């Protein structure tokens, strides 16, 4: 054996183990880095060679080399994580929206629509026993105004919540676009690194992190090409293909220009989104909030038409009939009619009170008739009164909120569980790294020792040649 | 199964968050005394609670109506009693005057008293309650009875309108007496006739005796209406009592649905506080030493 080969082998060991220790430092340094996958050195014996001197013994080993820095990732778990994130992110938005709606409606409590409506009907009943009382007329007017303005406020707040989603949509679409641009750039880099036979480990970590974040925003499908690039599809449309990024954009909704829809930027085609934050936003805006608004509009429209019908059939103190009490047709615009701004116009009598042959001012029967609208089965095909309809709406709201809570919570549990499993594979354990460090350090020390031993031997050899 | 540092931290954080959230929910419940703070806490309970609150307000509304009805009926009864007592006094006077031995001058004196009684009766019939004439039917701004100073005829200027109060759902109670009833015309006519006959020279005891009969009939007509008013007043009291009982029952129901059982709530909250604190202590021990610290 020539000493030089031994030196060579020792040197290789020194280098390999030094590199290994650098990898350990890298891991330890990144113990808290989000999305970091630990890296392991893969040692391989150097190819043995045939030496004439050791022909009888056979092939001689050539030491060790670091053949690969392996990235410990669990890609299949990542796919599952992202899938579940589609669901969680969507339900989280829906859940939060329902919380907001419950806060707007604020039942059960005094001063909410339920109480205001009850007081309105009671005011009419009070008026019916003393139709000439200005104080009681003023009370009916006040309660009517209160009822209208409560409905107005609820409507306004819900519409405003719907519009505020625009901000969120714009923000989210911007985030998506930023991510797909970066993914395309990463694709280029990763493909280049792989092409020369290296491992783009940290680039892959970055890409995985971006894909996780993207999954929270839209429900994309991700696949890896043979050359290492990632393809990202949304409804079959390419968001990322190789070096090319396809962005999303927003357009105004035809029926309501104050709202936004999402399209593919290059084709202007509407995108249907089923998961992720954007899906949650669209559903919250177009279903959840809209359903409540529709119910409130139904209540308002019914109030206006029914009260007006009965009111117009009655007579004010001035003997005039045919006046409306409310105006408007929805929760947003229901208001008191200017016809009753003069309180004596409020129609309490069923017959002309100025004509003694048919009626008199003491007649409050029309006011009673209006109070009785509270119990009339006007909605749900004659099965529910206005109050019952409203209570059912509130109960349904509670059920939906509870359901969204459940869905979000159980999705969250799954995401956490899957991320835990991924963490188990690719996370850094400081204890493990420490042990590895000791191992590599010992090997390094041994290799160093080897160098000095061989050095001594070479000294002896050279000394032989001296005289 | 590999345990990494992050794995441990993630779990601890999750558990802490969950524990704190539960604690917060329980604290809010206890401090508000309510188990339902949002519809999602109990959707059906919320629906029920809203229904009960509406029922309570409706109940209160009807109790107010009953109060108004009671007042009407009380004032009406008082007026009728006044008319009745005028009739009774006239009866006594008529009895006295039916004696043929009474002279003309004395009869005239009695007539003056009877005239006064008639005025009192008409005045009572023109009673107002909260600025409304109670016996005018719907013409509550119009004075119902007008006494002619010459003929002592009483004309009725109101109408036959029945003022109805809804004293409970679907139950209408007529609270007024329109002035076109015999309970008014008979007493007024009887008094007028007595008065006139007393002033007629040459009236006999028999004529006066006819008047007495008229007075008796008038009293009966009046009593009939007084009884009707009495019956209505009783109905009002009955329903009032029932609604008050109902109110109590509703309050109980509402409390059962909405209110937190404080003992249970506080206990759960304290348990959760303890659990949270224990979790905090456990979390503290997890900043464990690593192998590195043991190597020299």
Instruction: Spell out which residues of chain A touch residue B41, defining contact as CB-CB under 8 Å.
Output: 398
Distance from CA of A235 to the nearest CA of B (A): 34
Mutation pick from B39, B62, B155, B165 vs chain A, by most beta carbons of A within 10 Å, is B39
Q: What is the DSSP letter of B170?
A: T
Q: Which of A447-456, B163-172, B281-290 has the lowest mean pLDDT?
A: B281-290
> How much is the CA Rg of chain A, to the nearest whole Å?
39
Chain center to CA of B107 = 50
State the Cα–Cα distance between residues B31 and A162, nearest whole angstrom.
Answer: 33
Tell me if B286 sits within 8 A of B10, measured CB to CB. no
Q: What's the pLDDT tens digit per position in B103-160?
A: 788 888 889 999 999 999 999 999 999 889 999 999 998 999 999 999 999 999 999 8
Q: Could A126 and B65 be called an inter-chain contact, meaning their C-beta atoms sit closer than 8 Å?
A: yes
Q: What's the pLDDT tens digit per position in A157-193?
A: 999 999 899 889 999 999 999 999 999 999 999 999 9
Q: What's the pLDDT tens digit per position in A215-231?
A: 999 999 999 999 999 99
Among candidates B7, B65, B131 on the partner chain, residue whose Cβ is nearest the Cβ of A423 = B7
Q: What's the pLDDT tens digit per position in A425-451?
A: 999 999 999 999 999 999 999 999 999
Among candidates A115, A397, A429 on the partner chain, residue whose Cβ is nearest the Cβ of B2 = A429
pLDDT band of residue A419 (cuts 50, 70, 90) is very high
Please, what's the b/e burial string for A334-360 (b: 16 or more CB within 10 A of its CB; e: otherwise)? bbbbebbeebebbbbbbbbbeebebbb
Q: Could B163 and A398 be called an inter-chain contact, meaning their C-beta atoms sit closer than 8 Å?
A: no
Owner of token pair 């084709």: A267
Instruction: Spell out which residues of chain B touch residue A115, defining contact as CB-CB under 8 Å.
Output: 53, 57
Please, what's the b/e burial string for A279-297 (b: 16 or more CB within 10 A of its CB; e: otherwise)? bbbbbbbeebbeebbebbb
CB pairs under 8 A between A and B: 180
Q: Which of B168, B166, B167, B184 is nearest to B226 (CA)?
A: B184
pLDDT of residue A467: 60
Among candidates B43, B64, B159 on the partner chain, residue whose Cβ is nearest the Cβ of A356 = B159
Nearest residue in chain B measured CA to CA from A33: B6
Q: Could B39 and A133 be called an inter-chain contact, meaning their C-beta atoms sit closer than 8 Å?
A: no
Which structure tokens are listed for A339?
């016809």
Residue A1: pLDDT above 60?
no
Distance from CA of A131 to the nearest CA of B (A): 10
Tell me if A243 sits within 8 A of A249, measured CB to CB. no
Among candidates B14, B47, B161 on the partner chain, residue whose Cβ is nearest the Cβ of A394 = B47
Other Cβ atoms less than 10 A from the Cβ of B276: the count is 17
pLDDT of residue A2: 55
Please, what's the b/e burial string for A376-388 (b: 16 or more CB within 10 A of its CB; e: otherwise)? eebbeeeebbbbb
pLDDT of residue A50: 74
Instruction: Spell out which residues of chain A touch residue B16, defining contact as CB-CB under 8 Å.
Output: none
Other Cβ atoms less than 10 A from the Cβ of A152: the count is 18
Instruction: Spell out which residues of chain B touch residue A385, defining contact as CB-CB under 8 Å.
Output: none
Q: Which of B48, B204, B2 is nearest to A425 (CA)?
A: B2
Across all residues in chain B, what is the average pLDDT?
Answer: 91
Nearest residue in chain B measured CA to CA from A351: B138
Q: Which residues pair with B129 in a beta bridge?
A: B132
Which structure tokens are listed for B294?
């043991």
Element containing residue A162 per DSSP (H, E): helix A134-195
State the Cα–Cα distance between residues A71 and A179, nearest whole angstrom.
Answer: 23
Q: What's the pLDDT tens digit per position in A93-106?
A: 999 999 999 999 98
> Which residues lie closer than 8 Å to A441 by C-beta, 6 or more apart?
A17, A21
Other Cβ atoms less than 10 A from the Cβ of A22: the count is 14
Instruction: Spell out which residues of chain A touch residue B131, defining contact as CB-CB under 8 Å.
Output: 132
Q: Could A395 and B295 be called an inter-chain contact, meaning their C-beta atoms sit closer than 8 Å?
A: no
Instruction: Spell out which residues of chain B touch residue A126, defining contact as CB-CB under 8 Å.
Output: 61, 64-65
- C-alpha distances (whole Å) from B97 to each of A387, B86, B93, B103 are 68, 16, 6, 9
Among candidates A114, A356, A419 on the partner chain, residue whose Cβ is nearest the Cβ of B139 = A356
State the Cα–Cα distance between residues B200 and B262, nearest whole angstrom.
Answer: 85
Other Cβ atoms less than 10 A from the Cβ of B79: the count is 21
**DSSP line for A222-278:** EEE-TTS-EEEEETTEEEEETTEE--EEEEE-SS-TTSEEEEETTT-PBPP--SHHH
Mutation pick from B15, B159, B161 vs chain A, by most beta carbons of A within 10 Å, is B161
State the Cα–Cα distance between residues A214 and A179, nearest whole angstrom.
Answer: 7
Among candidates B40, B159, B165 on the partner chain, residue whose Cβ is nearest the Cβ of A360 = B159
State the Cα–Cα distance between residues A240 and A109, nearest whole angstrom.
Answer: 51
| Predicted ipTM beyond 0.95 | no
Using DSSP bridges, classify how beta strands A244-245 and A237-241 pair: parallel, antiparallel or unpaired: antiparallel
Instruction: Spell out which residues of chain A touch residue B3, defining contact as CB-CB under 8 Å.
Output: 424, 429
Among candidates B38, B44, B291 on the partner chain, residue whose Cβ is nearest the Cβ of A102 = B38
Nearest residue in chain B measured CA to CA from A366: B164
State the Cα–Cα distance between residues B68 and A400, nearest whole angstrom.
Answer: 45
Nearest residue in chain A measured CA to CA from B165: A129
Q: What's the pLDDT tens digit per position in B4-57?
A: 888 988 998 999 999 999 999 999 999 999 999 999 999 999 999 999 999 999
Instruction: Spell out which residues of chain B touch residue A129, defining contact as CB-CB under 8 Å.
Output: 65, 68-69, 165
Other Cβ atoms less than 10 A from the Cβ of A77: the count is 18
Helix/strand/coil for B69:
helix
Strands (E), chain B: 128-129, 132-133, 145-147, 154-156, 164-168, 171-174
pLDDT of residue B267: 96
Q: Could B58 and A122 be called an inter-chain contact, meaning their C-beta atoms sit closer than 8 Å?
A: yes
Q: Which residues pair with B147 in a beta bridge?
A: B154
Among candidates A125, A133, A429 on the partner chain, residue whose Cβ is nearest the Cβ of B61 = A125
Q: What's the pLDDT tens digit per position in A286-342?
A: 999 999 999 999 999 999 999 999 999 999 999 999 999 999 999 999 999 999 999
Instruction: Spell out which residues of chain A touch residue B4, defining contact as CB-CB under 8 Å.
Output: 423-424, 427-429
Helix/strand/coil for B95:
helix
Which structure tokens are listed for B115?
């005239």
Q: What's the pLDDT tens digit per position in A241-267?
A: 999 999 999 988 888 878 888 888 888
Among candidates B60, B68, B142 on the partner chain, residue whose Cβ is nearest the Cβ of A129 = B68
pLDDT band of residue A78 (cuts 50, 70, 90) is very high
Which structure tokens are listed for A294?
């529709």
Q: Could B138 and A361 be called an inter-chain contact, meaning their C-beta atoms sit closer than 8 Å?
A: yes
pLDDT of residue B296: 65
Q: Could B39 and A107 be called an inter-chain contact, meaning their C-beta atoms sit closer than 8 Å?
A: yes
State the Cα–Cα distance between residues A203 and A439, nearest whole angstrom.
Answer: 28
Q: Which residues pair with A233 in a beta bridge?
A: A221, A238
pLDDT band of residue B98 (cuts 50, 70, 90) is confident
Instruction: Spell out which residues of chain A touch residue B59, defining contact as CB-CB under 8 Å.
Output: none
> Which residues lie closer than 8 Å to A340 by C-beta, 6 or more apart?
A141, A144, A323, A324, A325, A346
Mutation pick from A30, A31, A105, A108 vs chain B, by most beta carbons of B within 10 Å, is A108
Instruction: Spell out which residues of chain A touch residue B161, defining contact as CB-CB under 8 Å.
Output: 359-360, 362-363
Q: Could B10 and A372 be called an inter-chain contact, meaning their C-beta atoms sit closer than 8 Å?
A: no
Distance from CA of B141 to the nearest CA of A (A): 7
Instruction: Spell out which residues of chain A touch residue B256, defining contact as CB-CB under 8 Å.
Output: none
Determine if the peptide bond prior to A108 is cis (ω within 30°).
yes
Q: Could A356 and B65 be called an inter-chain contact, meaning their C-beta atoms sit closer than 8 Å?
A: no
State the Cα–Cα distance between residues A91 and A21, nearest whole angstrom.
Answer: 45
Q: What's the pLDDT tens digit per position in B165-220?
A: 999 888 999 999 999 998 999 999 999 999 888 888 877 778 888 889 999 999 99
Residue A47: pLDDT above 80?
no
Q: Name the CATH superfamily for B72-249.
A: f41 fragment of flagellin, N-terminal domain (1.20.1330.10)
Nearest residue in chain B measured CA to CA from A424: B2
Count CA atoms closer than 13 A to B250's CA, side-chain side. 19
State the Cα–Cα distance between residues B33 and B280, nearest whole angstrom.
Answer: 28
Element containing residue B249 per DSSP (H, E): helix B205-258
| Dihedral Cα A258, A264, A269, A275, nearest 10 deg | -80
Tell me if B291 sits within 8 A of B86, measured CB to CB. no
Count CA atoms closer than 13 A to A467's CA, side-chain side. 0
Owner of token pair 């493990």: A432
């Amino acid at each position: 054996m020539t000493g030089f080969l031994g030196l060579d082998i020792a040197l290789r060991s020194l280098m390999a183990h030094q590199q290994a220790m650098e990898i350990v430092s890298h891991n330890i340094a990144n113990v808290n880095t989000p999305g970091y996958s630990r890296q392991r050195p893969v040692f391989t014996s150097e190819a043995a060679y045939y030496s004439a001197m050791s022909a009888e013994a056979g092939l001689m080993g050539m030491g060790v080399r670091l053949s690969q820095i392996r990235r410990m990732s669990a890609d299949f778990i990542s796919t599952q994580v992202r899938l579940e994130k589609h669901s969680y992110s969507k339900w989280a938005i829906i859940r939060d929206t329902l919380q907001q709606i419950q806060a707007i409606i604020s039942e059960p409590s005094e001063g909410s629509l339920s109480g205001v409506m009850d007081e309105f009907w009671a005011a009419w009943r009070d008026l019916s026993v003393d139709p000439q009382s200005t104080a009681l007329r003023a009370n009916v007017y006040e309660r009517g105004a209160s009822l209208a303005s409560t409905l107005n406020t609820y409507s306004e707040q819900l519409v405003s919540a719907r519009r505020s989603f625009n901000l969120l949509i714009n923000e989210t679409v911007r985030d998506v676009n930023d991510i797909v641009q970066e993914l395309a750039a990463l694709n280029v880099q990763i493909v280049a690194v792989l092409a020369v036979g290296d491992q783009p480990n940290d680039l892959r970590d970055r890409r995985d992190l971006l894909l996780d974040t993207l999954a929270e925003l839209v429900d994309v499908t991700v696949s890896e090409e043979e050359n290492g690039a990632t393809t990202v599809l949304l409804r079959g449309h390419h968001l990322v293909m190789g070096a090319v990024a396809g962005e999303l954009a927003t357009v105004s909704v035809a029926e309501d220009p104050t709202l936004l829809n999402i399209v593919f930027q290059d084709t202007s085609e509407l995108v249907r989104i089923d998961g992720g934050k954007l899906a949650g936003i669209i559903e919250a805006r177009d279903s959840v909030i809209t359903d409540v608004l529709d119910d409130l509009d139904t209540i308002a429209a019914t109030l206006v038409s029914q009260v007006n019908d009965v009111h117009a059939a009655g007579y004010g103190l001035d003997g005039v009939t045919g006046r409306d009490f409310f105006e408007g047709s929805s929760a947003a615009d229901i208001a008191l009619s200017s016809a009753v701004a003069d309180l004596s116009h409020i129609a309490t009598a069923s017959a002309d009170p100025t004509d003694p042959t048919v009626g008199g001012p003491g007649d409050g029967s029309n006011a009673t008739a209006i109070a009785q609208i509270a119990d009339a089965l006007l909605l749900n095909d004659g099965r529910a009164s206005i109050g019952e309809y409203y209570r059912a709406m509130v109960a349904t709201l509670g059920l939906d909120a509870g359901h969204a809570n459940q869905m979000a919570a159980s999705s969250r549990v799954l995401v956490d569980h899957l991320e835990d499993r991924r963490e188990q594979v690719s996370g850094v354990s400081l204890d493990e790294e420490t042990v590895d460090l000791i191992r590599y350090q010992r090997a390094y020390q041994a290799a160093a020792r080897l160098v000095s031993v061989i050095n001594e031997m070479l000294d002896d050899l050279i000394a032989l040649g001296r005289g | 199964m590999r345990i990494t540092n992050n794995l441990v931290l993630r779990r601890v954080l999750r558990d802490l968050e969950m524990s704190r959230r539960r604690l917060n929910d329980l604290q809010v419940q206890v401090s508000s005394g309510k188990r339902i703070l949002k519809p999602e806490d109990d959707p059906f309970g919320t629906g029920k609670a809203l229904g009960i609150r509406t029922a309570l307000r409706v109940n209160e509304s009807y109790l107010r109506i009953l109060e108004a009805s009671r007042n009407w009926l009380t004032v009406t009864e008082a007026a009728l009693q006044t008319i009745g007592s005028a009739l009774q006094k006239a009866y006594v006077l008529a009895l006295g005057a039916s004696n043929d031995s009474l002279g003309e001058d004395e009869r005239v004196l009695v007539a003056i008293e009877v005239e006064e009684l008639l005025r009192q009766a008409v005045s009572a019939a023109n009673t107002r309650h909260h600025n409304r004439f109670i016996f005018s039917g719907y013409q509550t701004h119009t004075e119902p009875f007008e006494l002619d100073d010459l003929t002592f005829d009483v004309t009725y200027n109101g109408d036959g309108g029945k003022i109805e109060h809804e004293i409970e759902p679907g139950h209408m109670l007529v609270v007024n007496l329109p002035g076109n009833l015999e309970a008014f015309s008979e007493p007024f006519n009887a008094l007028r006739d007595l008065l006139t006959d007393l002033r007629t020279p040459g009236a006999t005891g028999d004529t006066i005796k006819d008047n007495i009969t008229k007075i008796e009939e008038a009293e009966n007509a009046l009593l009939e209406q007084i009884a009707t008013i009495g019956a209505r007043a009783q109905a009002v009291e009955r329903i009032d009592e029932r609604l008050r009982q109902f109110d109590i029952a509703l309050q109980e129901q509402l409390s059962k649905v909405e209110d937190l059982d404080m003992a249970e709530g506080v206990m759960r909250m304290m348990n959760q506080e303890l659990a949270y604190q224990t979790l905090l202590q456990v979390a503290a021990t997890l900043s464990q030493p690593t192998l590195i610290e043991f190597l020299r």
